[in-house]
Amino acid sequence: MSDIALHAAILILAFLYSSVGHAGASGYIAAMSLAGVAIPEIRPAALMMNLGVACFGTWHFIRGGHFRWSLTWPFLIAALPFAFLGGKISLPPQLLGVLLGSVLLFSAVRFLFPSKQNKDDIRPPHVLIALISGAALGYLAGLTGTGGGIFLTPLLLFAGWATPKTAAATSIVFIAGNSLFGLIGFSTGSQAIPWHLASLFPFALIGGFFGSRLGSFHFSPDTIRRLLAIVLLVASGKLLSKAFPPDSVSPPPTTLLSH
């Protein structure tokens, strides 16, 4: 993938993801992995773009009247310190590739099989359950360079804790906080921020602004989810194949039988 294609992909992915209440980290990871960006540089670059897009999404979904602070605060408060801790950890490239590839695969499945909720079935979680869930998802967010929304949204929907629009609003605020603390944690670690990828940031912001604006008021997300799932499946396969190249698998030992 050329530089022009990568920048265009970031713009489109930010638009599509933000329209369904996400900031796009898994999509950015997918695009950068397909473009051949070094695996250790993918996580901080995704977090930077995620943070900018999530800020726009937060503004638009709150203005759209979908945000519920009573649902969001336990997840967010518990997640922030753990996102910081996860961001500080530097994993070996192979292990990080497996983890990122698994995140993309999970994201693709989540987009292919969205959950449908009836407003009458909604029951907010107990605060303690929300705190524990938030801590676990925050740590995973910092570790993988995502905002955690790709995990929080299906949890909210599958557990019957929120409607799709409320889940999107909760997730985008959760993503903003986790991305910020994950990026701070990364910057205090031993690895450097890949500033040479900063040219991707404005493209993510533009896509995120318009996508979240349209998504919070107008869009039906079904077609977008299917398209994103295809991209994520391809990138997941590429990351996992890099982590397990064919020549890294030793052939089984040959047993010689004497007759």
Task: Report the distance separating Cα 173 and Cα 165, nearest Å.
Answer: 13
Give yes or no for a contact between 27 and 231, defined as CB atoms under 8 angstroms apart.
yes
**DSSP-assigned letter for residue 247:** G
Distance CA 87, CA 211 (A): 27
The predicted pLDDT at position 218 comes to 63
What's the pLDDT at 118?
Answer: 59
pLDDT at 246 over 70: no
pLDDT tens across 28-62, in order?
988 998 899 988 899 899 999 999 999 988 888 88
Per-residue pLDDT of 181-197, as tens digits, reads 988 888 887 677 888 89
Q: In angstroms, rounded to a whole number, what is the distance separating the alpha carbons of residues 202 and 138?
A: 26
Supply the pLDDT for residue 245. 64
pLDDT score, position 237: 82
DSSP state of 185: H
Residue 188 is given by DSSP the state T
* pLDDT number for residue 140: 86
Give 3-33 pLDDT, tens digit per residue: 899 999 999 999 988 887 788 888 898 899 8
Say which residues have a Cβ less than 8 Å from residue 225's Cβ, sequence separation at least 6.
Answer: 20, 111, 112, 114
